[in-house]
Amino acid sequence: MDDLNRQYDIQPLIKADMSILINGQAVNAAKGETVLSVLNAVGVRQLSPNDHGEMNGAYCGMGVCYCCLVKIDGRHKRRACQTLVQPGMSVETGTNRVTAQEAVL
Amino acid sequence: MSPDPVIVGGGPAAISAAIELAQHGVRSTLLEEASRLGGVVYRGPLREGVELDYLGERYKDALHKLHAEFADIAHSVDVRLNHRVVGGQGEHSLQVLDPDERLQEVGFGQLLLGAGCHERSVPFPGWTIPGVIMLGGLQLQIKSGVVKPRGPTLIVGTGPLLMLVACQLHAAGVEVAGVYEACEFTRIAKESLALLNQPQLFLDGLSMLMYLKRHGVTVRYGWGVVQARGDGELSEVIVAPYSDTWQPDLSKAQPVMARTLAVGYGFIPRTQLTQQMGLDHAYNVDGYLAVKADTWQRSNQPHIHLAGDVTGMRGGEAAMLTGRIAALSILLQRGVLSEKQARAQRRVYLSRLNTIVRFRGAIDRYTQRGTRQIELPQADTVVCRCENVTRADIDLALSQGVQDMASLKMRTRVSMGDCQGRMCVGYCSDRLRESTGRQDVGWLRPRFPLEPVPFSAFTNACKDA
């Protein structure tokens, strides 16, 4: 799959310290960045459906509202705005365990 | 000697308190939930090699000054980043979630709480569409994330932050679709004299307006948001003139094309911890709960101090001063300063604080929220996103006689989800106060843990027991 482009950086990333995966696609990231910043940099704004099936996007941006929940390294409902990137980290959007299970039932 | 003072928070209040303590030879422990110090205002860029020119000279200088001053004394502060205080049960210890998500107890002799505030969320049709975000959160992404929102970006709300963010967005290369300030320009003009208490800020305000005008950015006073629309993501915002009570005139409503909408109608202090610790609180005229502090920044428990916006909205500069004053009180309590020395130094800080408070008073008066904005949500508009509670659910509960926040919570499930009501409390409180005519309708009562924690967090705690 193609790498994702960071189109929304205000200043270009001078040095990529690592690469992370967003829905399986590689994207460059720098130490210290949050997952939310990287998602914003590539323009992914529809993050995950909430438990009621409504698609959420980041809202408060500072850890209070729990609207930027994504799946990170296999763990559900991690706050993108409060999680720092790590080399090889895998971020998945568009998933919600609760709505998925209810769909099966 | 009692344990080192513990400071909760890493913003300007907390940093300034740690500096004042260290300058008098007192070590402290600082617990901050973020990965960097500075709070939302002074966090600085998260990645290296960023030139902050797009944020303006004055901000750059203030940021560098605060961090440089802290760096000088950093060896006397035990800074614990990525630590979240999730409980304050008991008068001498806190329950803290460490970066590995294990619960720890942190004991203290004296405590300073500087948890700050979060933004006031205002529900209107379409506010949950991706692309609609809160103004301060958007600014944090520009300042610390060094990423820009998708343009065109529209700004609605009230207060000086609107113009500042509009200028920063423009300087960062984002198309600004307009700035819609809810209050009339005449209300700001009436406060000119009081605003001149901070002449530099007043001038900055004027020059920001001129900057926006020069670059052809639409700025409208007495206008506000009505609705956001979009299929999947935001594509259009409906704005309309607001009356002085913020009743939109729908006959004059207009659509504005926007991919991002930043909404900034004010702030609410973060009182989860101060409430859980049983401290005294009071309601502010702006319709929020704030914790009470005396002139030494002490709570009703003298060893627990408060600084910054947690006692009411006064901004970053005031937070630095109240942080310093709280530190003086701690130094006095520990016998490091005499009453006379502490009072003399406090006088210096208080005189600067009073200037800010007079300036702030003017801002509070012109940004005073109109009561009619609570009518924006339609029956099917979600008010509590976490629990999918609509305006109709709240209307029904009120019509059935619900009169306080606790009953509304039990009746409708508002505030029972992940955010623990931080997003819907403003709207629910406004509705309850209007429907009952009472000032005190209760506030959300936080329980331990103050935010969701994994079960595994308790394995440590259980082992110790």
Q: Is the pLDDT of residue B20 over 60?
A: yes
Which of B34, B130, B388 faces A46 most closely, judged by CB atoms?
B130
- Both tokens assigned to B275: 């409430």
d(CA B191, CA B118): 26
Please, where in chain B does CATH 3.50.50.60 lie? 6-118+268-337, 121-265
- Half-sphere exposure at residue B323, Cβ-oriented, CA atoms within 13 angstroms: 32
Mark which residues 90-149 of B lie under 8 Å from A by CB: 118-119, 121, 128-134, 136-138, 140-142, 144-149
CA distance B443 to chain A (A): 17
Are the Cβ atoms of A59 and B133 closer than 8 angstroms? Answer: yes
Sequence-separated (6 or more) residues with CB below 8 Å from residue B153: B138, B169, B174, B175, B176, B177, B258, B259, B260, B261, B262
d(CA B99, CA B87): 16
Q: Is the pLDDT of residue B16 over 60?
A: yes
Indicate the burial class of B405 (C-beta count within 10 angstroms; 0-12, 13-18, 19 or more).
buried
Are the Cβ atoms of B232 and A55 closer than 8 angstroms? Answer: yes
* Contact list, B388 vs chain A (CB under 8 Å): 50-52, 54
Which amino acid does the sequence have at B407?
Answer: S
Task: Indicate the Cα dihedral angle B102, B103, B106, B107, nearest 10°.
Answer: -150
Contact (Cβ atoms closer than 8 angstroms) between residue B8 and residue B94: yes
pLDDT per residue as tens digits for the range B107-123: 999 999 999 999 999 99
Note every long-range contact of B400-406, with CB atoms under 8 Å and residues 24 or more positions apart, other chains counting. Answer: B402/B432, B403/B432, B403/B435, B403/B436, B403/B438, B403/B441, B404/B432, B404/B436, B404/B441, B404/B442, B405/B429, B405/B432, B405/B441, B405/B442, B405/B443, B405/B444, B406/B442, B406/B445
Locate the chain A residue with the closest alpha carbon to B50.
A11
Give me the pLDDT at residue B2, please: 64
Give the containing element (helix H, strand E) for B65: helix B57-73
CA distance A1 to chain B (A): 24
Q: What is the DSSP letter of B379?
A: T
Which of A33, A50, A62 faces B47 most closely, judged by CB atoms?
A33
Mark which residues 142-181 of B lie under 8 Å from A by CB: 142, 144-150, 172-173
The ipTM value here is 0.96
Which amino acid does the sequence have at B268?
Answer: I
Are the Cβ atoms of B388 and A52 closer than 8 angstroms? Answer: yes
Q: What angle do CA B32, B37, B43 make, to 5 degrees?
A: 125
Work out the number of other CB atoms within 10 angstroms of the CB of residue B441.
Answer: 24
Work out the number of other CB atoms within 10 angstroms of the CB of residue B351.
Answer: 10
A53-57, B130-134, B446-450: least confident range? B446-450
The residue whose two tokens read 């009356």 is: B243
Residues of A near B (CB-CB distance < 8 A)? 8-11, 13-15, 30-34, 36-37, 40-41, 43, 45-47, 50-52, 54-67, 69, 77, 81-82, 84
Phi and psi, residue B266, nearest 5°:
115, -170
Are the Cβ atoms of A62 and B140 closer than 8 angstroms? Answer: yes
Q: What is the CATH number of domain A18-104?
A: 3.10.20.740
Locate the chain A residue with the closest alpha carbon to B132.
A59
Mark which residues 3-22 of B lie under 8 Å from A by CB: none
**Percent residues over pLDDT 70 in chain B:** 98
Mark which residues 305-324 of B lie under 8 Å from A by CB: none
Q: Is the pLDDT of residue B443 over 50?
A: yes
CA distance B394 to chain A (A): 18
* Contact list, B118 vs chain A (CB under 8 Å): 60, 62, 64
Give me the pLDDT at residue A31, please: 96
pLDDT per residue as tens digits for the range A58-94: 999 999 999 999 999 999 999 999 999 999 999 999 9
d(CA B137, CA B139): 5
pTM: 0.96
Q: How much is the mean pLDDT over chain B?
A: 95
For A37, B46, B185, B322, the CA distances from B18, given in Å and listed in that order, are 29, 22, 40, 12
Q: Is the pLDDT of residue B464 over 90?
A: no
CA distance A25 to chain B (A): 19
Q: A87: left (phi > 0), else alpha (psi -120 to 50), else beta?
A: beta
Are the Cβ atoms of A61 and B130 closer than 8 angstroms? Answer: no
* Contact list, B33 vs chain A (CB under 8 Å): 63, 82
pLDDT mean over B353-376: 94
d(CA B110, CA B333): 9
Contact (Cβ atoms closer than 8 angstroms) between residue B65 and residue B317: no
For B126, B295, B387, B428, B430, the CA distances from B122, given in Å and listed in that order, are 11, 33, 16, 10, 11
Specify the pairing of strand B267-269 against strand B117-119: antiparallel
CA distance B286 to chain A (A): 20
Q: What is the CA radius of gyration of chain A?
A: 14
Question: What topology does CATH give the domain B121-265?
Answer: FAD/NAD(P)-binding domain (3.50.50)
Are the Cβ atoms of B121 and A63 closer than 8 angstroms? Answer: no
For testing contact with chain A, the best of B43, B97, B141 (most A CBs within 10 A): B141
For A27, B86, B146, B236, the CA distances from A40, given in Å and listed in that order, are 12, 29, 10, 20
Question: What topology does CATH give the domain B6-118+268-337?
Answer: FAD/NAD(P)-binding domain (3.50.50)
Q: What angle do CA B143, A3, A100 make, to 5 degrees?
A: 85
